[in-house]
Structure 1
């Protein structure tokens, strides 16, 4: 900011000199002096305009680099959090596998008990042995006792078999739970690799931005030095003309007006508002730019890419899915040559159609990137350009 103020001040001083000279040359002067002053004034105005443009670009680049650096820090935290979650999930899976192993051992013990009983009282097969036990009784009371014993054995076997069936059901549920955990863990690994890829791409982009920033700073210094040289030359010529003509005029009011005009130019940066029938959807996320990327998030407290899409459309009363797997088939497919603001665009990141955004027009889209959070990005960016395969969907 100090550098910016310094350059603005320098620009103002030069314009002051320029205005002073312009008003002071109305007196009769040699043709060659008039021509030289006109040339210097033109060069001075051109240099001032370039400085203003460079300053705007410089501020934009500084903001962009700060944003990317913050995004890198946030992604570093997210990667650490995800790694920790993977570790916890693996430990939970190990616990479940131990439970499954114990359950299998219990079932094996029960199988041995059933086998032992079958050998002991069903050697001749079926229920015949039950009849032999009953009709082998020596008295009525013995008969009652034997019937009761046989009944208890049968009930016990039935309970044991029922318990075994229930335990087998539990085992199947445990296995299904383990498989679900494994599937979720694999998805998290794939997403983590995608995040790493994006972060590396953002790092490369960041380095490119830094290089561009340094080049612009060097150009700015060169322009400033050149501007000062022109100013000194202009002042020297002005003094010579004044000495010859004896007519000196002050034009501080004009210089103030000129200086104010340049300051206005520096502070203004015109932006075009998005257009299209889905403007409510497109504008829904604007107040929340910078919201951090959150895996599975679908609210202004945190979005992932598909969660933001679903939320943005809901603000216009339109219901769409909240996963890229479903969104890639939602609405109608249109060619990129017919793309309109409000269309959905897909990028092949860690998988085909792995990332999604809302097209805003002029090559821009809004989306929740795990590198920047909710942000407006350019499709001409080298990363997004290389990952866009032309898949566009239109929600009617």
Structure 2
């Protein structure tokens, strides 16, 4: 029962997803039911706090997952836009190629290369003033159209380059956002795992403490029963003294050796239902060594031997000699039958018990001989007989 309980404190979360290792605190084993209850209450509070933190982490993870879903949708739209832009770029490139072809044709036709002599020649071939004016208008329009076409060509090329740059930049920005979200989610999942470990640890600690509490209460109850049994035995012993026993070949009258004792009631008491089985089992254990506190064939004390024999015979009886005395019905020597119990008072209380065999004999676990048959009408035990009892 003297265990050390360890409250396992895990890593707690800070705003930046960092963790602080909490110190592990050792607690002495509680020494009372109220201390167990207090520890269970403390653990319940710790578990509640940890579960709240776990729920908060789960909420953060859900937020990150929603952000990621939104980003994925944006990235999909950006990809579609980039695809569309690439189609536009293809179309612009085709238009640019067409324009360049037209410019080359025009250049070949009118030699628009910046050589003014070609234009002058075109004008000199005029046949009249009206023709000159017409040719001047053609040249003017031709030059203006070519200049506009060239400028549009330049603008379109710059637009294509700008759109490509803008779309690629957006893709890079979205890729970076996705990486950050993934990193944050990983940190949150690590935090979640730590919190789950903390909750599980506290839950296990609570279960352990609850189990220890039950064992403590059971042990406490057993100790209280033991104390009560001993106190009862002392009360009984105060009213019980040794008796004089007669040789069973003569009259089985019983006389009290002191005035403080009362004669056994000569009332009808049902005989043991399996006395033969009890005595047979008992005699089969003859020779087993004496062991203080023993209750198995590896070694017996007096009451442990009686309890073991009765259990083997299918009957239940309490553990101590005093308890067995209190749990049996008082009978006289004349009423005693094999399988009943005989009790002895060597020290002022019921301190020895054996199984009555008849003929002035009993079998019990003796400190000097182990399990053996002895006489209670002569010799040592005849001086300490306290009475007989029927379970």
What TM-score, normalized to structure 1? Answer: 0.45
Structure with greater strand share of residues: 2
Structure with greater helix share of residues: 1
Asked which structure has the greater RCO (Cα within 8 Å, sep 6+), the reply is 1
Which structure has the larger Rg over C-alpha atoms?
Answer: 2
